[in-house]
A = this chain, B = another copy of it.
């Protein structure tokens, strides 16, 4: 098994700055009469997210030997999409969270109507960014169209959105099974992470074999991400987490920790990391940032 030899702090900083700069470029300009809702979108987009999805997208592209510029806009678009899901998840009709990343939730600042619109605005903007990235090159429209189609399936009713729908339905029920939680979490969280990895690979000219291996990596890391989130919800530092500790449990949601216990979750995480690294064993050292990201997703629980 290859072990990551990457200075992750530096990688995070440098690529994080790249993503930050590009997001600022993409959202630059005066919004004229639409300044309220544009400000609402930017409030959440620049609220201090870790940019995991763009980083995964860039690292997957790098693993396939691609230039960062090919994957960057798709990564930024996926961060816009991720932000849209956070804004909507916090709404009173959804999880009803007042804070996010230690700051007031979008709807606490702009009201429910503008927050709802800001979420949809970010979703729409993400597609604009992906399509325009595709139009910029001669051979890239087909790649962009494929990424757009795949991303839509990953975040639509069969994916993120469907997962959130199940989450709402399950919250009202007491007898949710582990299989149901897994299905829900896969749809709600893993599919967008897989889409991020695949988008970076596709934008960087990955072949089908590379794509398949990276997809397996994404699937395992996606599951690990959710298990780690549930562990953090119990043991995490509230300031770091930006939301009240145990908030999922208080809403009556069944988590991996409820089902497997803390030790069971940690042992599962270790196993998942090993499987994720095995999935990308054929890649050379250019996949080390991706491996390091996989490790980071697990390590943050300790």
Contact = CB atoms under 8 A, between A and B. Distances in A.
A156 B88 contact: no
A36 interface: yes
A93 B132 CA distance: 32
Interface in A44-89: 84, 88
Contacts of A6: none
A94 B117 CA distance: 10
A262 to B, nearest CB: 28
Given A131-B145, A141-B142, A165-B34, A157 B113 contact: no
A279 interface: no
Contacts of A130: 148
A144 B166 CA distance: 32
B145 A34 contact: no
A112 B88 CA distance: 12
B94 A162 contact: no
A260 interface: no
Contacts of A265: none
Interface in A114-139: 114, 116-117, 119-121, 123-125, 127-128, 130-132, 134-135
A112 B124 contact: no
B156 A131 contact: no
A46 to B, nearest CB: 15
Contacts of A123: 120, 123-124
Given A131-B146, A131-B148, A145-B144, A31 B157 contact: yes
Nearest to A124: B156
Contacts of A174: none
B121 A93 contact: no
A301 to B, nearest CB: 28
A161 B127 contact: no
Contact of A124 (B93, B142, B155): B155
A114 B165 contact: yes
Contact of A94 (B88, B113, B145): B113
A168 interface: yes
Contacts of A168: 113-114, 117
A183 interface: yes
A239 interface: no
A1 interface: no
A93 B113 contact: yes
Interface string A138-170: 000110111011001101111001101110110
27 contacts: A31-B157, A33-B180, A33-B183, A34-B165, A34-B166, A37-B162, A38-B157, A38-B162, A93-B111, A93-B116, A94-B116, A116-B116, A117-B157, A119-B120, A123-B123, A125-B152, A128-B152, A131-B148, A131-B152, A132-B149, A134-B141, A134-B142, A134-B145, A135-B149, A141-B145, A142-B142, A144-B145
Given A37-B162, A123-B124, A144-B145, 5 more contacts: A34-B157, A38-B162, A113-B165, A142-B142, A145-B148
